[in-house]
A and B are shown apart, each in its own frame.
Chain A
Amino acid sequence: MDNAKPIVSIRGLAKTYAGGHQALKGIDLDIREGEILALLGPNGAGKTTLISLICGLVSPSAGTVTVAGHDIIKDYRKTRELIGLVPQELTLGAFEKVGNTVLFSRGLYGKAPNAAFIDDLLAELSLSDKKDNMVQQLSGGMKRRVLIAKALSHEPRVLFLDEPTAGVDVELRKDMWAIVERLRQSGVTIILTTHYIEEAEEIADRVGVISGGELLELEDKSTLMAKLGKKQLVIELKNAVDTVPEQLSEYGLELSANGSKLTYTFDARQERTGMTALLTSLSQAGLAVKDLNTSQSSLEDIFVDIVKADA
C-alpha cells in the first residue's frame, strides 16, 4: 500500500473565509488509492472545510488539489465524477421521494438511470421499503442512509464521509462499516472525519490529526494507537523527595510538585504494566504513598501533545 500512487494529492491548500477567518493554513496531504483515511480533529479544526475544498463547494485561497492526476478546478468534471460526498448536515429536499432523490443524484453526476443498481443500493442500506416515502418523513438515521445512497449513486472511486456516525444508532453504524468494508474491497478510497478515536481505530488504515487548520500528524493507525495506549500512574508521596531514588531508575519516573509527585508512564496494552513491581520497589525504597491515580491519555491529550510538539 505504501508505494501506491496518491489518488488525491493536496499541496499548500489554504482557505481564508470572507470574514477573515483562516480555516486552513497550508495543508499538504497525499491520500493513497484504496485506503481508509480518518481525519480526527476538534470542532472547528477545518475538517469540513478541507473536504468542501476538494469537492468544489468552497474555493481555495491558495494551493492545489488533484484527484487521479486531474486538477479540481481546471478539470472539475473529471475529478468530481470520481468523488462522492456524504455531508455532515442532514441536508435533504423536502418534497421528494427516496427513490427519486437517489436517481437525481446519479443523474447529476452524468450517469444514465440504472434501476437495478439503485434497487441494490437501497437494499444494502435497508431502504427498499422506503423507496416511495417522502424524505421529510424519515427519521434522522434513515435520512443519513439516504444521503449515503445518494453519494454512492454514481459509483464514486473516492468517498468522503463527513462525520458519518453523528447521531447514528449501533445498527446503522454496523451497516455503514459493512458498506465501507465492501467499498474498500472494490477499491474505493474512503476519507472520513470524526471526533471519536475508537471509530478511527475500528476501520481506518491511516489517521490524520487536524487542529486549528493544520494537519499536525498523519500516521498509520498502529503508530497512533500506540501513543494512545499510554497510561500514567501518578503517585502522591507522603514526604517529598529531592531526587528519584537510585533503585527506582529503571521505571523512568518523573518528579513534580516539589518532589511530592511521581509520574510513571506505561503502555496499557502490555500484559505486564509493571505497576505492582513499582509499588513494591517504592516501599523498598522507603517511600510512603499517600495517594494513587491512573489516567489514560485521551484524544484531547494527544492533541495537546501534538500541538505542543509542533510549537
Chain B
Amino acid sequence: MNTEAVKAIYRAEMRRTRNTLLQSIATPVISTALYFVVFGSAIGSRIQSVNDVPYGAFIVPGLMMLSILTQSISNASFGIFFPKFTGTIYEVMSAPISFLEILLGYVGAAATKSMILGVLILITATFFVDLRIAHPFWMLSFFLLTCISFSLFGFIIGLWADNFEKLQLIPSLVITPLVFLGGSFYSIDMLPEFWQKVSLFNPVLYLISGFRWSFFEVSDVSMGFSLAMILLFLLTCIVVVGVMFRTGYKLKP
C-alpha cells in the first residue's frame, strides 16, 4: 500500500478547498440559512407540522442531504476532472499507485469535505430550530455512507466527462431534480396518490427518508429498505469505478 501517495493526493485536494474556502464552505452555509428563512419561516408558518414534527425541524435532514449530495458530486467530479483537463493527471497515472489508492485519495478528500459541510449545516440549523436525533448511530451511518457513495459517484462523473458541459449535466439535470422531488421539503403522503407512486422510483427518496427516520423516527419508507438502497448504490459505484480503472477508461489511450 502506497500510503504516502494517498496522503499526498488527499492533502492536495484539501489544500484546493482551503484556497476556495469561501466557495466551498460559506456558500452552502449561506444557502442553508436562506432555505430556513424561506421554507422554514415563510412556508413553515403555514405548515404547522409534518407527522408531528415541526416543519422547520422536518426539513433539516432533507436540507443536509441536498447539500451533501450536490457538494459530494461537484467536489469529487471536479477533483478528478480538473487534472484530466489540465493534463496533470499524467503524474498520477505514471506513479506507483493502485486504483484503490487513487480512489482513497480523491474520494476520501471529497467525502471529508462533505462531512465538514454536513456538520456545518447541522450547526447552522440549530440556530433556527430545536433538533433531536433519535438514533445517532444510524444518523451517522447514513451520513457517512451518503458522503462516501456520492463522492464516488461524482468521481465517476468526473472520469466520464470530457468537457465542462458534461461535468454539469448529471448534477443539474438528474441529481438536483431527484433531490427536490425526493421529499427534502415534504413527506410524500402530502402528494396526490399518483405522484406518491412515481416518487417511489426516486432513489434519493429512500436516502432522505432513512436519514429523516434517524432524526425523528418518521419515514416514508422503511429504514431497512433505505439502508439497503444506499449500500446497493455504493456497491454499484465501486464496481463501475473498478471497471473504469481496469480498462483505463478515458485515462489511458
List A residues at the B interface (Cβ < 8 Å).
17-18, 55-59, 76-81, 83, 85, 87, 89, 91-96, 100, 103-112, 150
Contacts and interface: CB of A to CB of B under 8 A. Distances in A.
Given A87-B90, A92-B88, A103-B8, A76 B96 contact: yes
B87 A91 contact: yes
Nearest to A84: B94
Given A57-B94, A58-B252, A80-B95, A108 B5 contact: yes
27 contacts: A18-B253, A57-B90, A57-B93, A57-B252, A58-B253, A59-B253, A77-B96, A77-B98, A80-B94, A83-B94, A85-B90, A87-B87, A91-B86, A92-B86, A95-B20, A96-B12, A100-B15, A106-B4, A107-B5, A107-B7, A107-B9, A108-B8, A108-B97, A109-B4, A109-B96, A110-B5, A110-B95
Contact of B83 (A80, A93, A110, A111): A93
A89 B15 CA distance: 25
Interface of B: 2, 4-5, 7-9, 11-12, 15-16, 19-20, 82-83, 86-88, 90-98, 248, 252-253
Given A17-B253, A95-B19, A110-B4, A55 B96 contact: no
A59 B9 contact: no
Given A76-B96, A93-B88, A104-B11, 12 more contacts: A59-B248, A59-B252, A77-B2, A78-B96, A80-B94, A80-B95, A83-B94, A92-B88, A93-B83, A104-B12, A107-B5, A107-B7
Contact of A107 (B8, B15, B90): B8
Contacts of A85: 90, 94
Contacts of A57: 90, 93-94, 252
Nearest to B93: A57
Nearest to A19: B253
B2 A110 contact: yes
Contacts of B20: 95
B14 to A, nearest CB: 12
A178 to B, nearest CB: 25
A79 B94 CA distance: 10
Given A57-B252, A108-B5, A80 B96 contact: yes
A100 B88 CA distance: 14
A108 B91 contact: yes
Contacts of B4: 106-112
A66 to B, nearest CB: 15
